[in-house]
Amino acid sequence: MLSLPYLGFVTRDDEAYKKTKQRLLSPYNPYYAQGPHFRGIGGPHVSPVDPWPMSLISAIFGSDDDKEILELLYTIVNVSKGIYIENSHPFDELY
Confidence tier at 25 by pLDDT (50, 70, 90): very high
Q: What is the mean pLDDT of the chain?
A: 83
Q: What is the pLDDT of residue 82?
A: 56
54: pLDDT strictly greater than 80: yes
Strands (DSSP E) found in 28-93: 32-34, 39-41
Q: What is the pLDDT of residue 35?
A: 82
Contact residues for 82 (Cβ-Cβ < 8 A; gap 6+): none
Distance (Å, rounded) from C-alpha 49 to C-alpha 29?
12
Neighbours of 8 (CB within 10 A): 7
Tell me the residue type at 79: V
Q: What is the mean pLDDT of residues 18-41?
A: 89
Q: What is the mean pLDDT of residues 44-53?
A: 76
Q: What is the mean pLDDT of residues 7-35?
A: 93
Q: What is the mean pLDDT of residues 62-86?
A: 80
